[in-house]
Amino acid sequence: MIVNYHSDAVAAKDAVAAVERAGGQATAVQADVRDATQLSSLVKTAVTEYGGLDVLVSNTGMARPTTLAEATDEDLELHFAINTRPVFRALKEAVLHLRHGGRVVVISSGATVVAHPGAGLYAASKAAAEQLARAAAHELGPRGITVNSVLPGATRTDALQAQMPADVAASIRSQTPLGRLGEPADIAAVVAFLVSDEGAWVNGQSIHASGGLF
């Protein structure tokens, strides 16, 4: 397994250690997936070190809340540069390198389902990535390759805890039937199913993983 990271080498090292404790093999590779050359090199490293490519999970994302009235062209470009273009390029790499029966999962967002003030650019860029995944599901299907998107609800990541006010988090918990925020492990479990043999018949879907929030 290749664990890609942009800047947080410590988190990447922890992920590698977790894989190894579970009996697997992993390598941390730093690459800015906004750069087509670095993304291509990242995939080729996986092919070289592990003999091929079976699973590709695209988990890039950023959000800079702004109303449409206040948004600039630079804001638009930034969201699509991080949330959409890397997915497009990753899917192109999947076409070239994924073996028969491979799996692709794109991490999208519940923002594409439920509108929030200030999240228009983020939602639009994630929705575009979802549509690329749907198209890829049809194009790669003849090779037995599935492509799906996962749409997390509010998930208790470091970024969310740093940005979300406590009262907003409490409101989301109260609106969620399961009465809590999501955990990274909740989303990982959905991804694990989709890339497993048991998930082989799920294809071209946008899977809601929100505890019932949407």
In 3-state terms, what secondary structure has residue 44? helix
Q: How many whole angstroms separate alpha carbon 116 and alpha carbon 78?
A: 19
What phi and psi values does residue 150 have, to the nearest 5 degrees?
Answer: -115, 130
Contact 153, 110 (CB under 8 A): yes
Q: In what order do the strands lie in the sheet with 53-58?
A: 53-58, 98-107, 146-152, 206-209
CA distance 77 to 95: 26
User: Which amino acid is present at 25?
Assistant: Q
User: Is 5 part of the annotated catalytic residue set?
Assistant: no
Per annotation, catalytic residue among 86, 105, 122, 210: 122
Contact (CB, 8 A) for 15 and 28 = yes
Which sequence positions are flagged as catalytic?
A: 122
